[in-house]
Amino acid sequence: MVGRIRILEWEAVRIIESRCTTLHHAKQVHAHIYRNNLHQCSYVITNLLRFLTNLPHLPVQSYPHLLFSQVHSPNPFLYSALIRAYARNGPLFQSIRLYSSMLNNNVSPVSFTFSALFSSLKNPTLGTQLHLHAMLFGFVSDLYVGNTIIHMYVKCGLLSSARKVFDEMPHRDAVSWTELIVAYAKSGDMDSARELFDGLPGKDKFAWTSMVTGYAQNAMPKKALEFFLRLQEAGVETDEIILVGVISACAQLGVSGYASWIRGIAESSRFGSVNNVLVGSALIDMYSKCGNVEEAYSVFKGMKERNVFSYSSMIAGFAVHGQARAAIKLFYEMLEAGIKPNHVTFIGVFTACSHAGMVEQGQYLFGVMEKYYGVAPTADHYACMADLLGRAGQLEKALQLVQTMPMEPNGGVWGALLGASHIHRNPDVAEIASHYLFELEPDNLGNYLLLSNTYALAGRWDDVSRVRKLMREKQLRKNPGCSWVEAKNGIVHEFFAGDVKHPEINEIKKALDDLLQRLKAIGYQPKLNSVPYDIDDEGKRLLLMSHSEKLALAYGLLNTDAGSTIKIMKNLRICEDCHIVMCAASKDTGRKIVVRDNMRFHHFLNGTCSCSNFW
């Protein structure tokens, strides 16, 4: 008799696994189970329950829970199947309630019970209590349970607890290591991620990908490139995720040599820009950030498929290069192609309008973005509009917009207003913006510097001293101005403000002095108010001569082919005096000079800049 029942159970499970594809089939099998008196068999019902809870659009609390409730003495596997279903599909509290019911009915949990509970848990207090239960029942040494506990602590933001679990696991697999490596990378702790990676035996593609993308996402592009080279040397296959990560690193460096190199690797793989929209969009962004918006547009036009991301990347590229009309034109081409814009698209459009002073165009699109395109304005869009109005000198309108926003202004919004106040030398509005910024971003040095420099432009030196004292009290230190330029051999040379360490510094300073003398002969006068310090005029002239972008320019003139474009990347905003020098130098030397600062690109040619001095 027992043997016949076992055969019936196996037959019922075989039918579930091989024939069930719809809810209708499941109900037929359920009827078969009843006819054969198997409706109290936890083994059979567990398999049917697992099938039902994988069906789309079938609420767990309906048929699956009813099926479970009809079993008088469910075993731990049946409990665990329903717990997993609630943990995955919700409501989560039902899985906790089931677990409590299980214990109250003296049914001991199994490892699957805990892995199901931990997989979706985001409550650190409850997670810690369940972790203790797993220890009491002896399941923390189970590999899968340990991995889900790590996963739970990572989701709760308790990395130290996750690491403690990892360190105490008797056995680990690639999932154990990679989960923590990814978590450290997302938190910005690349030293800990690197430590784990170095200790990982048998590094797989996921671990390598985590390191490359982690370094790229944490603004450590040289490290990302280093790991990508190591990945290639290890013979690890390149995929689109790795390519996008390393392309992002090249974009951060902004160096054309790296751009050409990674483009070649992408095109020689099966993830070239023509057929892969993800890689194509990343390449568009990279070329735009490397100062070559023409090549970015060439990639864009060569793509067989374009989506909202490729269009948005190209629009943003045109925007930061001062080609506002091209950005707006492409936006309308996107609409004609039937591609719906998203919030990123509009940020690119508003940036284009802001950098070109197209106030009416920007205001119109801001007014219709939700009505016509279904994109509700966010704080980031309001920041763009504050920047648009502020740059155009409409500071009162910008302030009114910020004060009547339907949501609380964030740091980006007040930062845009502070930046506009600096441009138009309005310390009163700057004080209002900085008041909120000092609360929202108390350790953001840039806000203190902008306010201090705005006071300096207005000659309010007592206020400058007050802000600088506050900076000292908070122990905030300014990042030194840094610019880098690529020589014709592809080597990147860095220069800091007041640099004296470069091996060719004497030749560089002489070339810069010769250039400035020629520029003075045609009317250049140093913009002394670009120096935010209360020192004499001669001291200001010396400081202006030592700005990093001027040193980079002189080096570029000495070490690049005559007639070639000089591309300079800078970590801070270009000052007004350097902007004037770049304009004049482009006319004096007949060279095109491209400068990327932390706001946008400036293309200098024949004595003019692409920004039309609207920056």
- H/E stretch holding 274 reads none
Alpha-carbon separation of residue 561 from 294, 591, 608 (angstroms): 21, 10, 22
Which pLDDT tens digit goes with each residue over 535-548?
A: 788 888 888 888 99
Above 60 in pLDDT, residue 98? Answer: yes
More confident residue, 360 or 256: 360
Residues 186 and 178: their CA atoms lie apart, in Å, by 12
More confident residue, 127 or 16: 127
Which pLDDT tens digit goes with each residue over 232-270?
A: 999 998 899 999 999 999 999 887 788 888 999 998 888
According to DSSP, the β-strands at 601-605 and 566-570 are unpaired
Residues 432 and 400: their CA atoms lie apart, in Å, by 12
Above 60 in pLDDT, residue 3? Answer: no
Which pLDDT tens digit goes with each residue over 386-423?
A: 999 998 999 999 999 999 999 999 999 999 999 999 88
Which pLDDT tens digit goes with each residue over 119-177?
A: 888 899 999 999 999 999 999 889 999 999 999 999 999 999 999 999 999 999 999 99
Which of these, 540, 518, 513, lies nearest to 527 by C-alpha position? 540
Which pLDDT tens digit goes with each residue over 286-339?
A: 999 998 999 999 999 999 999 999 999 999 999 999 899 999 999 999 999 999
Structure confidence at residue 2 (pLDDT): 46
Contact 172, 166 (CB under 8 A): yes
Above 90 in pLDDT, residue 480? Answer: no
Q: Which residues contact 306 (CB under 8 A, 6 or more apart)?
A: 277, 280, 300, 337, 339
More confident residue, 161 or 56: 161
Return the ∠ at Cα 68 (arms to 62 and 71), rounded to 5°: 140
How crowded is the C-beta side of 53, counted as CA atoms within 13 Å?
25
Mean pLDDT of the chain: 90
Structure confidence at residue 24 (pLDDT): 84
Where helices occur in 22-123 by DSSP H, the ranges are: 23-35, 42-53, 63-69, 76-89, 92-104, 111-120
Residues 488 and 486: their CA atoms lie apart, in Å, by 7
What is the CB neighbour count within 10 angstroms for residue 506?
Answer: 10
Structure confidence at residue 615 (pLDDT): 60
Instruction: Label residue 471 exposed, middle or buried (CB < 10 Å: 0-12, 13-18, 19+).
Output: middle
AA identity, residue 578: C
Above 70 in pLDDT, residue 9? Answer: no
**Domain parsing of the chain, residue ranges:** 482-609
Q: Which residues pair with residue 566 across a beta bridge?
A: 593
According to DSSP, the β-strands at 482-486 and 566-570 are antiparallel
* 484-509: average pLDDT: 86
* 375-383: average pLDDT: 96
How crowded is the C-beta side of 483, counted as CA atoms within 13 Å?
28
The DSSP symbol for 528 reads G
